[in-house]
Amino acid sequence: MENQVGILRKERKVINLVSAAHFFSHFFILTLPPLFLTIKEDLNITFTQLGMMVSVYAVGSFVGQYPMGVFADKYGPRWILICGILTVSVAFVLMGLMPVYWVMVGLALMAGLGDSVFHPANFVVLTASVAPERSGRAYAFHAFAGFAGFAAAPIVVDAFRVFWNWHFALISVGCLGVIMTLVLISNKDLLIGEKKRSHLDQVLAPSGKPAQVMGVLEFIKFPPILILFFFYVAVALAGSGIQQFSPSALPVMYEADVSAANQVLFVYMVTISIGILAGGYIADKVTRLDMVATVGYLIGIIMICVVALKALPFIFAAAALAIAGFMMGIVMPSRDVLVRAVTPKGNAGKAFGFVNSGFGFAGIIGPLIFGRIMDSGQITWIYYGAAIFMGLTIITALAAGRFARGKIIY
């Protein structure tokens, strides 16, 4: 039997490996937006068409997440995760090599299908490998790595664009993903599912009764998970405009250059990441997770409206976005703890696959909404719209908290 030190060391290795994969998942998502202005000029297309490309990516992710969660529960997450990251990587390499709009749209769909594996497979591995009393911090670090990927993408991709061109940027991102694929293959024995976890009991649930694996259709009608799905949709819509279109909106609103706007987005993502780390501690200590969301998003709404009003210089708008990012980050670990708490054992892949497909669903319509706003010239509504969706997130969080409060296990 492994001693405690050995168990903790193995858990850290698993968390680091899965979090690195999550970093790339989020890095891939924000690879295209920093290149929007350059691609638009080079291919002579509209922001709506660019939004379509991102939406198609989201379609692939949305369609694939729940089936991949089912497969991860049944067959294990190892090769599902490895094949997923390789698929996304190859898609970006091909985008750089074949810069034709409709070809790129098809490759975006391919990339989205590859991206659909990350959340269900990663959470199956974490649930199988990390003890429940440490799972909140594990989820927080996993989320932190993802948003670190969001933060890194605008800077790294823009650097490739500045020193070479957007074609080379896409090819380079794909090659980095191939390297990460090789890292996963070399550590594949750590990528276990719930059926193979070694130091936690997989036969008995906390109540002492046998754990029940729910059916595919039965699970999507499970009320707590259904409510949390809509919460995830609202969260994704709240952040979609800011994350996808700030590099294009801020230069118009504040007469800043594109690189400065990408740097602001970088800071915004960094503050989300810092907020996530703080939120991991809060999620382990607070039972009213819905109130954490309410306070965090109320402050976020105020800060986002400061940006939209254009009443302050660019530097203050950047600071407001940073504060909003921090408050949004604080909320994020609570959602994963809540999903874990209400999910019957043996269903982690289905649970996280289904609720995270809410991100994909919102990603389908979000870029189209905000792309149309950009084309209309009403640029400030990128941020007013984000604030409205954030308000809807509060309503959904309160509903989820009321329904699931009695089911949370600490």
210: helix, coil or strand?
strand
**Contact call for residues 332 and 22 (beta carbons, < 8 A):** no
**Contact call for residues 12 and 137 (beta carbons, < 8 A):** no
Q: How confident is the model at residue 202 (pLDDT cuts 50, 70, 90)?
A: very low
Residue 44 domain-assigned (yes or no): yes
Give the tokens for residue 44: 């002579």
The whole-chain average pLDDT of the chain stands at 83
pLDDT at 196 over 60: no
pLDDT at residue 178, as a whole number = 95
* Helical pair 36-43 and 166-186, crossing angle rounded to 10 deg: 130
Q: Could you tell me the CATH number of the domain that includes residue 120?
A: 1.20.1250.20
Average pLDDT over residues 400-407: 62
**Contact call for residues 97 and 217 (beta carbons, < 8 A):** no
Count of domains forming the chain:
1
Q: How confident is the model at residue 216 (pLDDT cuts 50, 70, 90)?
A: low
Find all residues with CB under 8 Å of 15, minimum gap 6, and list them: 126, 129, 130, 138, 141, 142
DSSP string for 43-77: HT--HHHHHHHHHHHHHHHHHHHHHHHHHHHHH-S
Bigger pLDDT: 30 or 288?
A: 30
Residue 173 domain-assigned (yes or no): yes
pLDDT tens digits along 290-333 = 788 888 999 999 999 999 998 889 999 999 999 999 999 998 88
Dist CA 17 CA 180 (whole Å): 10
pLDDT tens digits along 92-151 = 999 989 888 899 999 999 999 999 999 888 988 888 778 777 777 888 889 889 878 887
pLDDT tens digits along 44-89 = 888 888 888 888 888 888 888 888 888 887 788 888 999 999 999 9
Dist CA 148 CA 153 (whole Å): 9
Is the pTM of the predicted complex or chain greater than 0.95? no
Residue 120 domain-assigned (yes or no): yes
Range of the domain at 227: 4-195+214-407
Residue 208 domain-assigned (yes or no): no
| Ramachandran angles phi, psi of 204, nearest 5° | -110, 135
pLDDT at residue 396, as a whole number = 79
pLDDT at 387 over 70: yes
Give the tokens for residue 55: 């939406």
Could you tell me which of 205, 209, 229, 214 has the C-alpha nearest to residue 403? 229
pLDDT at residue 409, as a whole number = 46
pLDDT at 204 over 50: no
Dist CA 26 CA 146 (whole Å): 5
Residue 136 domain-assigned (yes or no): yes
Residue 63 domain-assigned (yes or no): yes
pLDDT at residue 191, as a whole number = 79
Residue 336 domain-assigned (yes or no): yes
Q: How confident is the model at residue 403 (pLDDT cuts 50, 70, 90)?
A: low
Residue 245 domain-assigned (yes or no): yes
Bigger pLDDT: 379 or 199?
A: 379
Average pLDDT over residues 213-239: 78
